[in-house]
Amino acid sequence: MLVLGIESSCDETGVAIYDTERGLIGNQLHTQIAMHAQYGGVVPELASRDHIHRLVPLTRACLDEAHVDLQDLDAIAYTQGPGLGGALLTGTSFANALAFANDKPVIPVHHLEGHLLSPMLAEDKPEFPFVALLVSGGHTQIMAVTGVGKYELLGESIDDAAGEAFDKTGKLLGLPYPGGAKLSQLAKLGVAGRFEFPRPMLHSHDLNMSFSGLKTAVLTAVNKVKEAHGTVDEQTRNDICLGFQDAVVDVLSRKVQDALKQTGFNSLVVAGGVGANWKLRERLNQLKVRVFFPPLSLCTDNGAMIAFAGAMHLQDARAVGAFDVKPRWPLI
Ligand code: KG4
Ligand code: ZN
């Protein structure tokens, strides 16, 4: 069976084809990061307009790459939510129009389920059950996953998502949007131990987390340095990056260990953009369980995870009817 997947929930346009026999056979992506960088964050209206320009050429390129004709497709999956309303509407309308014109069924997909299942696109894939750490720009959740569609929320951030904390902290350190990846690169040049930041909710006796206070702690540190030296030099900024990253990674890693203990599962899946973070990978790989990360290219938003999640829900495929988007949509 061949499933076309379309992702347009935020600032990446992704189109991919998953073959249930052969795996991923087409994967096209366009990132709008450069366009939004000049504004310091995603501008929703610009995101929607750009998706509209990209969807048709990316779909053509994906079909060519996979040597597949539109008529060969068995279903068209698309991200129905959560995400930016206008951006979601572009992919949703396109997918439904394409499906209607070619008499194909559609499969609305939950964006987070796409992330959650994306490590199954790797050659070395996890088996159920597993604990999943979902760390993106919009969500930070720990889940018990016992099968496709069988998710139990064990804990989550009660305020900022980990990726959001990375981006906001990057911004206040003067890094270009999105600051997360850049901040973690600079952390590699940092000296350990110069800046210690708090580990919020580490002893909360549950699996919830909080990251919004961390950026305030960084701001306080930056202001202290400025008061003393007038400016924050490069080395100091790198040291702050390292201290901040250590704090986030420490909290995530300890909460995940608690989740593994609580469930008794011995596999861990890490998904979402922050899953690309080198320090998080290093820490989690030290745990005495099997740890699965999606390939780096599939950590951030992409069409492949939507095509794959769609293929896992082929039995839910439905004829095109009235459609809507779900900008706010809890997975569980
Ligand atoms: O999953 P994703 O592409 O989009 C959402 O659905 O949110 O995640 C994007 C988030 C951004 O906040 C970005 O800064 C963060 O992932 N990110 C990173 C790294 N690469 C991306 N955060 C920390 N370290 C990285 N290497
Ligand atoms: Zn995402």
Q: Does residue 149 have a pLDDT over 90? A: yes
CA angle 194, 195, 199 (to 5 degrees): 140
Ligand 1 pocket test: pick from 109, 166, 168, 244 the residue with the most ligand atoms within 8 Å of its Cβ.
Answer: 166
Q: Which residues of 55-64 are buried (b: 16+ CB within 10 A; e: fewer)?
A: beebbeebbe
Burial status of residue 286 (CB atoms within 10 A of its CB: 0-12, 13-18, 19 or more):
exposed
* Burial class of residue 156, CB neighbours in 10 A (0-12, 13-18, 19+): middle
Q: Which atom of ligand 1 is nearest to the CA of 179?
A: 14
Q: Where does the chain hold its CATH 3.30.420.40 domain(s)? A: 2-117+299-316, 127-293
* Gap between the Cα atoms of 15 and 276, Å rounded: 21
Amino acid letter, residue 87: A
The domain covering 2-117+299-316 belongs, at the CATH homologous superfamily level, to ATPase, nucleotide binding domain (3.30.420.40)
Q: Which ligand does the CA of 165 lie closest to?
A: 1
* ipTM exceeding 0.85, yes/no: yes
Average pLDDT (73-98) is 98
pLDDT band at 297 (very low <50, low <70, confident <90, very high): confident
Q: Each residue of 87-109: pLDDT tens digit?
A: 999 999 999 999 999 999 999 99
Binding residues for Fe cation: 111, 115, 301
Q: Which residues contact 31 (CB under 8 A, 6 or more apart)?
A: 11, 12, 300
Around ligand 1, the residues with Cβ closer than 6 Å are 10, 136-138, 163-164, 166-167, 178, 180-181, 184, 272-274, 276-277, 300-301
CATH code of the domain made up of 127-293: 3.30.420.40
- The predicted-structure confidence for 226-285, as pLDDT tens digits, reads as follows 999 999 999 999 999 999 999 999 999 999 999 999 999 999 999 998 999 999 999 999
